[in-house]
Amino acid sequence: MKYDYDLFVIGAGSGGVRAARIASQAGARVAIAEEYRIGGTCVIRGCVPKKFLVYGAEFSQMVADAPGYGWTVGPVSFDWPTLRDNVQKEVTRLSGIYTSNLAKAGVTAFEERAEIVDAHTVKLKKSGGEVSAERILIATGGSPYLPEGLPGLELGITSNEAFLLPKFPERVLVVGGGYVALEFANIFHGLGAKTRILHRGDKLLRGFDDDLRAHMHIEVERGGNQLTLKTTLTKLEKAGEAIRATLSTGETVETDVVLFAIGRDPHTGGLGLERAGVKRDDAGAVIVDEYSQSCVESIYAIGDVTNRFNLTPVAIRDGHAFADTIYNKRPTPVDHRSVPSAVFGRPPIGTVGLSEADARRSHEAVDIYRTNFRPMRNMLSGNQERTLMKLVVDGKSGKLLGVHIAGEDAPEMVQLAAVAVKAGLTKQQWDSTMALHPTAAEELVLMREKVAAPGSAA
């Protein structure tokens, strides 16, 4: 045979593992390399452990809500090592399942770093060997971006380390205003830490619908987080056991943890892409076509390293589509439109489709339906958290363009709303669906009145 393998996958995360398994099951000789732990970001230090911590954090609100429902709650306490270690046990179990599924599918796994030598050759860094393959798939994901050059940077952590903290912090300074920042602020706050969010922008959650962003601003503060906008860090230094952070306003803040959640970079450093002639964009992401092929014929890339939609289901779909295209001879481009996403903050967000601003840019006429209410669940408890629901509709065809919700169970609701948006249903079809009472979700099909157009007198 001309090559050692038909396919060599670099990175055993969500996308790489799926591509490797499907290609191998289709008869290809496949190898995969992983430099950290099989399972990748989502399983090891992303979605999965994060969601467990979110579940853990929710208990404090339940305890606060319980007396209104007649419960007498005695003294409660939280033990971080129990939660941390239980999460890690589950992560290890899941990583084991990924490893055995690769083996069952006949994929050879190298648990070490791999780098590209040329269009058909990969170097294994630990063992030093070179392996050839007809095709190489880059599935190396992303890694947290850090503000290089910040004095005292080494005192801060990223989401990677947050899962493994030896001790639960009393005070946390979360730097960033995106979904990971909000989720970790929610986790630490819910588990009992005093949290402060520091964001250089003037609004949270760039890229989300503006009404959601405004709603989250109110709720994040109502929930008890301190929110400091239009401010950056200028210095970190040790202050005994604590960290002293100096802000761009000159204020100094003492804290136990500084968590950087200011974005992620495609993980391509030192991978040998220049050597192989693989083109990247300004952000460092591998440039690919609709079949995930790079400018080098034998090299493909999927998932976060392509910086299209950095979410697990997308990486999995990309990986599956790549394997179907090449090894099952079924050309499958991935449709990256109408991808639903969530923010597991307080309240959680679920969103799919166009924001109002994007819809107004791309459509002649846009109708907006919006409701903002205190859900039934919060009435007896006195919880003041409010729910926002918003529909963005094409004013001409009546088709639903976007559904945006911030409120309890929003991500669960939006998974189903995404079916309607993807299918191109109209608001009329949506409204002809009978309400399910009493739920918060029923409000979605009961929004009759358009919100007045911006600038109108109504």
Ligand X SMILES: Cc1cc2nc3c(=O)[nH]c(=O)nc-3n(C[C@H](O)[C@H](O)[C@H](O)COP(=O)(O)OP(=O)(O)OC[C@H]3O[C@@H](n4cnc5c(N)ncnc54)[C@H](O)[C@@H]3O)c2cc1C
Q: Which two tokens stand for residue 59?
A: 């208990």
* 14: three-class secondary structure by DSSP: helix
Structure tokens at 149: 């050059």
Question: Which is closer to ligand X, CB of 83 or CB of 359?
Answer: 83
Helix (H, G, I), strand (E, B) or coil at 314: helix
Interaction of residue 310 with ligand X, rule CB under 6 A:
yes
- Of the candidates 45, 86, 58, 67, the one whose C-alpha atom is nearest the C-alpha of residue 409 is 58
- Residue 238 contacts by C-beta under 8 Å, 6 or more apart in sequence? 152, 155, 244
Q: How far is the CB of 445 from ligand X (least distance, A)?
A: 26
Q: Which residues of 430-440 are buried (b: 16+ CB within 10 A; e: fewer)?
A: beeeeeeeeeb
CA 17 from centre of chain: 18
Question: Is 217 a residue of the active site?
Answer: no
Whole-angstrom distance, CA of residue 248 vs CA of residue 230: 9
141 touches ligand X (CB under 6 A) = yes
Helix residue spans in 66-175 (DSSP H): 80-104, 159-162
What secondary structure does DSSP assign to 158-224, as a single string?
A: -HHHHTT-SS--SEEEEE--SHHHHHHHHHHHHTT-EEEEE-SSSSSSTTS-HHHHHHHHHHHHHTT
Amino acid letter for position 321: A
Least distance to ligand X, CB of residue 370, Å: 25
In this structure, the strands spanning 5-10 and 30-33 are parallel
Q: Pattern of binders to ligand X over 260-299, x per CB under 6 A? A: -------x---x----------------------------
Binders in 3-42 for ligand X, by CB under 6 A? 10-16, 33-36, 40-42
Give the shortest CB-46-to-ligand X separation in angstroms.
3
CB of 156 to ligand X, least distance (A): 15
By rule CB under 6 A, what string of x and - marks binding of each residue 332-361 to ligand X? ------------------------------
Contact pick of 140, 351, 355, 387 for ligand X (by CB under 6 A): 140
Which residue is listed with tokens 């969500």? Answer: 14
Closest to ligand X by CB, 16 vs 350, is 16
Among 255, 293, 312, 378, which residue sits at the site for ligand X (rule: CB under 6 A)? 312
Which of these, 135, 94, 131, lies nearest to 113 by C-alpha position?
Answer: 131
Q: Find the shortest distance in angstroms from Cβ 128 to ligand X.
A: 14
Stretch that binds ligand X, among 137-145, 349-357, 393-401, 433-441 (CB under 6 A): 137-145
Q: Of these residues, 189, 215, 217, 437, which one is catalytic? A: 437
Angle at 325 between CA 324 and CA 328, to 5 degrees: 50
Orientation angle between helical segments 312-327 and 14-25, nearest 10 degrees: 20
Q: Measured from the CB atom, is 115 or 211 closer to ligand X? A: 115
Minimum distance from residue 233 beta carbon to ligand X (Å): 20
Q: Does 121 bind ligand X (CB under 6 A)?
A: no
**For the chain, how many helices (H) and strands (E)?**
12, 21
Question: Any alpha helices (H) in 365-435, and if so which ranges?
Answer: 410-423, 427-431
Residue number with CB closer to ligand X (12 or 366): 12
Span near ligand X by CB under 6 A; candidates 99-107, 135-143, 218-226, 394-402: 135-143
**Count of chain residues binding ligand X (CB under 6 A):** 35
Nearest distance from residue 9's CB to ligand X, in Å?
9
Q: Does 177 bind ligand X (CB under 6 A)?
A: no
**Could you say which of 24, 95, 99, 159 contacts ligand X (CB under 6 A)?**
159
Nearer Cβ to ligand X, position 38 or 220? 38
Task: Verify binding: residue 109, ligand X, rule CB under 6 A.
Answer: no
- Which of 140, 387 has the CB closer to ligand X? 140
Contacts of 71 (CB under 8 A, 6+ apart): none
Of positions 53, 91, 315, 400, contacts ligand X by CB under 6 A: 315
CB of 387 to ligand X, least distance (A): 20
Closer residue to ligand X in complex, CB, 10/131? 10
Please give the helix or strand (H or E) that residue 392 lies within, else none. Answer: strand 387-394
Question: 207 CB contacts (<8 Å, ≥6 apart)?
Answer: 355
Residues that bind ligand X (CB under 6 A): 10-16, 33-36, 40-42, 46-47, 50, 113-115, 139-141, 159, 180, 267, 271, 303-305, 310-313, 315
- Catalytic site residues? 437
